[in-house]
Amino acid sequence: MFVELYMRYQQIKKYLTTIIDLSIKFIRDLFNSSFKHDVPGTAAEGAYRAILSFFPFLMVMVSLLSQSSHKYNLVDELMELLRRFLLPNSITIIQSYLENFVNIPVKTIISVSIFAFFWFGTVYFCAIGKGIAKAYGLSVRPLWRDLFIHFMLFVFTGVFLVAFSALMILGPIILKLLNVYIEVPKGITFLLGKLRIFTSVVGLIILLSTIYHISLPKPSSWFTQLPGAACSATAWVISTGAFSLYLQHFGLYEKTYGSLAGLIIFLVWLYISNGIFIMGAEINHTLDNLIRDYKKNTN
How do residues 137-157 score in pLDDT, each as one tens digit? 888 788 888 888 888 888 888
The answer to whether residue 246 scores a pLDDT higher than 70 is yes
Q: What distance in Å separates the CA atoms of residue 51 and residue 265, rounded to the nearest whole number? A: 12
Query: Which residue, among 116, 134, 288, has the nearest Cα to 215 in the 3D structure?
Result: 134
Mean pLDDT score, 177-197: 63
Q: What distance in Å separates the CA atoms of residue 236 and residue 272, rounded to the nearest whole number? A: 8
Over the chain, what is the mean pLDDT?
75
Residue 100 confidence (pLDDT):
61
The structure's pTM equals 0.74
Q: What distance in Å separates the CA atoms of residue 217 and residue 185, rounded to the nearest whole number? A: 50
Residue 229 confidence (pLDDT):
92
* Among 104-118, 143-157, 228-242, the least confident range: 104-118
Task: Please report how many Cα atoms fall inside a 13 Å half-sphere around the Cα of residue 168, on the Cβ side.
Answer: 27
Ranked by mean pLDDT, the top range of 11-15, 42-46, 90-94 is 42-46
Query: Which residue, among 241, 190, 215, has the nearest Cα to 83 in the 3D structure?
Result: 241
The answer to whether residue 204 scores a pLDDT higher than 60 is yes
Residue 90 confidence (pLDDT):
60
CA distances for 288 relative to 36, 76, 295, angstroms: 17, 43, 11
Q: What distance in Å separates the CA atoms of residue 258 and residue 252, rounded to the nearest whole number? A: 10
Chain-centroid distance of CA 150 in Å reads 16
* Among 195-204, 213-222, 272-281, the least confident range: 195-204
Residue 231: partners with Cβ closer than 8 Å, 6 or more residues away: 279, 280, 283
Q: What distance in Å separates the CA atoms of residue 265 and residue 45, rounded to the nearest whole number? A: 16
The answer to whether residue 187 scores a pLDDT higher than 80 is no
Angle between helices 106-135 and 186-215 (to 10 degrees): 60
* Among 87-96, 129-138, 235-244, the least confident range: 87-96
Residue 209 confidence (pLDDT):
92
pLDDT tier at 14 (50, 70, 90 boundaries)? confident
Residue 230 confidence (pLDDT):
92
pLDDT tier at 174 (50, 70, 90 boundaries)? low
Strand (E) or helix (H) holding 15? helix 2-36
